[in-house]
Structure 1
Amino acid sequence: MSKLTHLDDKGEARMVDVGAKSVTEREARAEGVIRMSPNTLSMIIEGEHPKGDVLAVARVAGIMAAKKTHDLIPLCHSLNLSSVKVELTPGDDNQSINVHARCKLSGQTGVEMEALTAVSVAALTLYDMCKAVDRGMIIDGIRLLEKKGGRSGHWSASESPS
């Protein structure tokens, strides 16, 4: 098992020093889903939600969240992201929206937390905007799908035992 990098030898929290790491191209993808009633999904897709285009607002919220991850998670580095993409697609089950995020940069540390934060906040924004019509929504399955770059190279959820 690997040593936890955010703890020093005394077990105290610390921000990891990435100063000696090489600058490499880094990328991370994450996903999640928000489940809702078919009526709520229909309202969103048809553009009939009283709050307007909730998908556009959630997409922008996810992008903004990725850029602010270091403000939300205490030991994350402030990163100069080169790209953040958030996609929101209706699920085949007719009662969910799949949320995917991809973050990229050239830097000394990874962007996994940024991708996970983008997915989380996009899903939370959907919940917030739709809670007046559907309080029973469920946010589920937020996870890292893939990361590329850095010393540890490429990792994919499909390669990891569950």
Structure 2
Amino acid sequence: MSHSLTHLDHHGHAHMVDVSDKSPSKRTATARGVLTMKPETLSKILAGGLAKGDVLATARIAGIQAAKKTSDLIPLCHPLMLTKISVDITQLNECQLEVLCTCALSGKTGVEMEALTGVSVAALTLYDMCKAVDKGIVIENVQLLQKTGGKSGDWSAKNEPN
């Protein structure tokens, strides 16, 4: 496995990687992010007590839309025909929500950026919808949890040294 920066050509210039000779394979990626907020903010979210409406449903939809638009946001990403996007938001404790985004396709390039973009935009949407009651919400620990498929094979954050 090469550890070179694939988005740089032999002159060091940024370029889009040519994947035309790669064989399609099933690829998945899951990313996560954590939001920390006041306990009363989380209570309002879970009770549906915010003026902007169903915060969790809106954040899930925003995450799905963002994953589909990743190549419009990240300059060297390939446009992908995703076959699955899921955004799950769960309560970790009295002041934290976890956002997970999983993307999948059968194709020539991975979906890590799509999963990370989905998590990021879902988290930003949660912040946007809750900022009127809690401007101190912190979005943290956005990271890739795992990916499967492709030339480099499977990878998991669990297997990485700290």
1:84-134, CA deviations, whole angstroms, 9 ceiling, x for partnerless residues? 000001112x00110001000000000000000000000000000110110
SS of aligned partner of 1:91: strand
User: 2:106 & 2:3 partners in 1: Cα distance?
Assistant: 25
What's the Cα RMSD here? 0.8
Alignment correspondent of 1:152:
152
Question: What TM-score does the superposition give when structure 2 sets the normalisation length?
Answer: 0.98
Q: Specify the alignment match of 1:76 in structure 2.
A: 77
CA distance in 1, matches of 2:5, 2:161: 20
What is the percentage of aligned positions where both structures have the same residue?
59
Q: Does 1:116 align with 2:116?
A: yes
Q: Which residue of 2 aligns with 1:21?
A: 22
Instruction: Give the counterpart letter for 1:157 in structure 2.
Output: A
Residue 127 of structure 1 corresponds to: 127
User: Secondary structure, in 3 states, of the residue corresponding to 1:121?
Assistant: helix
Residue matched to 1:47: 48
| Structure 1: runs of 5+ lacking an equivalent | none
Q: What do residues 42-89 of structure 1 show as CA deviations (whole Å, max 9, x unaligned)? A: 000011111110000000000000000000000000000000000001
Q: Count matched residues.
A: 161
Instruction: Give the alignment of 1:1-20 within 5 angstroms.
Output: 2-20=3-21
In structure 2, stretches of 5+ residues that fail to align are: none
Alignment partner, residue 33 of structure 1: 34
Deviating above 4 A after TM superposition, structure 1's stretches of 4 or more consecutive aligned residues are: none
SS at match of 1:4: coil
